[in-house]
Amino acid sequence: MHNLMSEPSFLCIMVCSLQAAEDLVKEKPELAELIEPKISELCQQFDELERTTKEKGERLFDANREVLLHQTCDDIDTWMNDLEKQIESEDTGTDLASVNILMQKQQVIHYVVAQTL
């Protein structure tokens, strides 16, 4: 199981670790040959991690944008089909009240279509 950590927490641990390593080098200069290459390697690995994370984030964003586009197209298609059914309805109303309701629905359809164009 992976241990998930937030980016700010990871950065904090990283900075604290580097600071501790630098403090150790100051206290015991004889360890500099051993510690400084590790610090450099760690910094390089962190830079690689940042670059990889950024690239993956961009790919995820692009993939999500495609999904949203398809969802939007599907929503528009559904809306158009519903609108078509309302327009093709053969219901002419049976009395004044039902005719008025149908006329209001028709006005809403005209308004919605006009607003989308």
Q: Where are the domains of the chain?
A: 7-91
Comparing 13 with 3, the larger pLDDT belongs to 13
Q: Which H helix or E strand runs over 86?
A: helix 32-88
SS3 content of the chain, % helix, strand, coil (to 5): 85, 0, 15
- Overall pTM surpassing 0.75 (yes/no): no
- Give the C-alpha separation, 57 to 7, whole Å: 13
Show the tokens assigned to 115: 């607003």
What pLDDT, on a 0 to 100 scale, did the predictor assign at position 16? 85
**In this predicted model, what pLDDT tens digit does every residue of 63-88 receive, in sequence order?**
899 899 999 999 999 988 988 888 88
- Give the C-alpha separation, 75 to 40, whole Å: 52
What pLDDT, on a 0 to 100 scale, did the predictor assign at position 55? 93
Contacts of 101 (CB under 8 A, 6+ apart): 93
